[in-house]
Amino acid sequence: MDSAELDALLTREGLALLDALGDVDSADDVARTVSRLRAAGHSPELVSAVVGQARLRQRATAKFGEFADRMLFTRAGLEQATRMSVSVHHARRIRQAGIERVADLGCGIGGDSLAFAALGMGVLAVDADPVTAALAAYNLAPFRAEGAEGAGVEVRAARAEEVPLDEVGAVWLDPARRTARHGETARVAAADYSPPLDWVFDLAGRVPAGVKLGPGHDRDALPEHAETQWISVDGSTVELVVWTGALAREGVRRSALVLRGDDAHELTAAADTADEPVRALGAFLHEPEGAVIRARLIGDVARALDAGPVAQGIAYLTGDAAATSPFVSSFRVRETLPADPKPLAKALRARGIGTLEIKKRGVDVDPATLRKRLSLKGDESATLILTRIDGRRTAILADRVPRA
């Protein structure tokens, strides 16, 4: 979205047209809608902005739920925004630390600021891009209105490094990790984040802070005395947050937060935990959540399940106890099968398996390509787990254990 499209959209006509448009589900819908709106006399800038926003609102439902229908987005802003379910957890931590006003530096479209304001905190939301800042101001408008709950929300178009922070009790920092465009973007190296990480971590050492980073960020480059929290949502590892000052919990340096639906579970530790010894394949196999793996808390999960890794350096756990936990996906082992595609396909056909979930760790296999080679047929279903045990490629046929 450029400034001309934004100016066209942020009018009574533009917003009314957007709200009346409804879903635009396919490329054919887009073409028909554009033709209809242009024939009705609307400008190219307005048509482009309205149709683009309708598409983005549909995509945004996965992150923002019902809030998406009253928000505005850029493609890059939506892509980089924190999911609302995660933002709420961040906001609760900051509020419970007694923080009354927080600066959201690199606020993007304002997703985190929405959660902060909803919990009654004053918010200074800052973004270097004027278009993005304008969208954040629109999205935060309900909390900027006079007398609104959470009043005291201010939005500025400015560089984070230039904003006075005298009146805030904490900062939330989301350094830009992609190129500065509103559409398609590309990842940049950590040395090119904006604001720079050296500045971010220096500020976080002086002011209570939460710093949002990618979950694969180099652990050796993280502040030594901060709390580092990895977060998984519905099976996907979505982010790493570095907490400092009053926002870091005493005695906690590693944490894994697992969100699934409305449920939240967390593991915490003072440091990386020791792994359990390798075990022979047992009756059950467990796959830890990505947040647990990233936080290096697999050992604690293994001990809780009376399990151990199937091999050194492989994040699958095995044991004979009929136990599971919120921190793993568990599978009941049926048998091991030949790992080579041709005999494996024959074995699966003999068992009538036509629906197969394929998982892998420690082996160079493309599941989509393997699936084609297997030529599956039958009414049965199962999970195939490919890994290395005792240095050899191993195929394990298993069934998922339902979550409690």
Token pair for residue 244?
A: 């400092």
pLDDT of residue 26: 79
**DSSP-derived pairing of the beta strands 263-269 and 328-337:** unpaired
Number of H helices, E strands in the chain: 14, 16
pLDDT of residue 178: 61
SS3 227: strand
* Alpha-carbon gap, residue 329 to 51, rounded angstroms: 40
Residues 6 or more apart whose CB falls under 8 angstroms from that of 202 comprise: none
Token pair for residue 184?
A: 């398609």
Residues of the chain with pLDDT under 70: 1, 144-151, 178-187, 404
pLDDT of residue 8: 84
DSSP string, 279-316: ----SEEEEE-HHHHHHT-HHHHHHHTT-EESSTT---
pLDDT of residue 172: 98
Q: Quote the crossing angle between the two packed helices 12-21 and 44-64, to the nearest 10°.
A: 60
Kindly provide the residue ranges of all beta strands, DSSP E only, lying in 130-235, ordered along the sequence: 153-157, 170-173, 209-213, 227-233
Query: Residue written as tokens 């490094």?
Result: 161
pLDDT of residue 365: 94
pLDDT digits (tens, 9 = 90+) for 305-331: 999 999 999 999 999 999 999 999 999
pLDDT of residue 191: 76
CA distances from 376 to 43, 339, 342, 383 (A): 53, 15, 12, 13
CB 289 within 8 A of CB 258: yes
pLDDT digits (tens, 9 = 90+) for 60-106: 998 998 889 899 999 888 988 989 999 999 999 999 999 999 999 99
SS3 93: helix
pLDDT of residue 286: 98
CB atoms within 10 A of CB 326: 17
SS3 385: strand
CB 131 within 8 A of CB 6: yes
